[in-house]
């Protein structure tokens, strides 16, 4: 079945450093979503990308969708301690409306 | 999301016991989901329901059953709990027809420990 691979699994950074997590799908995606889960919390929707090559920004977060719509990335500029958590990408499974989640990238930020 | 609630929030049970996890939502969404989260394994879909009369297995449904009592309520049961069902369980909802893809709203989670 369709898989959504996410790397790295863990990332430790010093506050102020940049961070990037990558998401790759075995099949072309119609769209991709990103979620953030704070420690002890639940996943919360961040953004959805739909168009080939799309780039969206939310303050220090930049989301990209690949030209082939098989990969995506989330880049955080100048991380802050409030960025800690696990970031998940998710894409629709096949032609269905279910989402397949990547395994997530856990980000820790040292102050 | 306060519109999606789960009970209990924490539960300790013993091997072989039957346990039910409950999820309620006030978002008016048709679709509800149960996920399991284990360290390093992300979110795995157990069951999902696209409306009250529709129940579907996810990728890891063995050992679990569900009941959709109403549009707002979706319960997950472990008929005979075993230790490897120790995990964090999330309920989620989505709004049918949201284009181009439904986003999911998660409850706060239930942390289950099976001894």
> Rounded to a whole number, what is the distance in Å from the CA of B4 to chain A's nearest CA?
11
Nearest to B104 among A9, A30, A45 (CB): A45
DSSP, res B16: T
Q: CB distance B104–A92 less than 8 Å?
A: no
pLDDT tens, position by position, B72-115: 999 999 999 999 999 999 999 998 776 667 889 999 999 999 99
Is the pLDDT higher at B39 or at A64? A64
Q: What is the mean pLDDT of chain B?
A: 93
- Whether the pLDDT of residue A71 is over 70: the answer is yes
Q: CB distance B107–A42 less than 8 Å?
A: yes
In this structure, are residues A84 and A109 in contact, taking their beta carbons and an 8 Å threshold? yes
Alpha-carbon torsion (B100, B101, B102, B103), positive or negative: negative
Q: Using a CB–CB cutoff of 8 Å, tell me whether A45 touches chain B.
A: yes
- Whether the pLDDT of residue B2 is over 90: the answer is no
Place A6 in a pLDDT band, splitting at 50, 70 and 90. Answer: very high
Q: Using a CB–CB cutoff of 8 Å, tell me whether A33 touches chain B.
A: yes
- Whether the pLDDT of residue A95 is over 70: the answer is no
Q: How far apart are CA B42 and CA B44, in angstroms?
A: 6
The chain B residue lying nearest A34, using CA atoms, is B103
The count of CB pairs under 8 A between chains A and B is: 53
DSSP A50-108: -STT-EEEETTEEEEE-TTSSEEEEEESS--GGG-EEEEEEEE-TTSS-EEE---EEEE
**Percentage of chain B lying above the pLDDT 70 cut:** 97
DSSP B49-63: EEETTEEEE-TT-TT
pLDDT score of A97: 72
Tell me if residue B82 falls in helix, strand or coil: coil
Q: Using a CB–CB cutoff of 8 Å, tell me whether B60 touches chain A.
A: no
Q: Using a CB–CB cutoff of 8 Å, tell me whether A9 touches chain B.
A: yes
- Whether the pLDDT of residue B1 is over 60: the answer is no
> Rounded to a whole number, what is the distance in Å from the CA of A72 to chain B's nearest CA?
16
Q: How far apart are CA B25 and CA B12, in angstroms?
A: 24
Alpha-carbon torsion (B109, B5, B35, A60), positive or negative: negative
- Residue B92 makes CB contacts below 8 A (sequence gap 6+) with B4, B32, B33, B34, B35, B104, B105, B106, B107
Q: Using a CB–CB cutoff of 8 Å, tell me whether B1 touches chain A.
A: yes
In this structure, are residues A48 and A32 in contact, taking their beta carbons and an 8 Å threshold? yes
pLDDT score of B68: 96
Using a 10 angstrom Cβ sphere, with 0-12 exposed, 13-18 middle and 19 or more buried, the burial of residue B62 is exposed
Q: How far apart are CA A27 and CA A30, in angstroms?
A: 10
pLDDT score of A8: 96
- Tell me the chain A residues in contact with residue B58 when contact means C-beta distances shorter than 8 Å: 98
pLDDT tens, position by position, B22-31: 999 999 999 9
Q: Using a CB–CB cutoff of 8 Å, tell me whether B104 touches chain A.
A: yes
């Amino acid at each position: 079945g369709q898989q959504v691979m996410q790397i790295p699994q863990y990332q430790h950074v010093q506050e102020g450093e940049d961070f990037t997590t990558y998401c790759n799908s075995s099949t072309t995606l119609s769209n991709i979503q990103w979620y953030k889960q704070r420690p002890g919390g639940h996943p919360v929707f961040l953004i959805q990308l739909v168009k080939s090559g799309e780039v969206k920004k939310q303050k220090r977060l930049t989301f990209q969708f690949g030209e082939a719509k098989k990969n995506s990335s989330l880049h955080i500029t100048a991380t802050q301690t409030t960025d800690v958590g696990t970031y998940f990408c998710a894409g629709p499974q096949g032609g269905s409306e279910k989402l397949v989640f990547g395994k997530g990238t856990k980000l820790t930020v040292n102050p | 999301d306060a519109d999606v609630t789960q009970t209990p929030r924490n539960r300790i049970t013993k091997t072989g016991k039957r346990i039910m996890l409950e999820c309620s939502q006030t978002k008016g969404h048709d679709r509800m989901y149960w996920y399991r989260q284990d360290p390093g394994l992300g979110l795995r879909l157990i069951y999902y329901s696209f409306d009250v009369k529709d129940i579907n297995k996810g990728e890891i449904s063995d050992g679990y059953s569900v009941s959709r009592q109403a549009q707002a309520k979706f319960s997950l049961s472990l008929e005979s709990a075993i230790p490897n069902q120790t995990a964090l369980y999330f309920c989620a909802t989505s709004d049918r027809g949201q284009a181009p893809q439904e986003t999911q709203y998660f409850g706060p989670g239930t942390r289950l420990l099976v001894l």
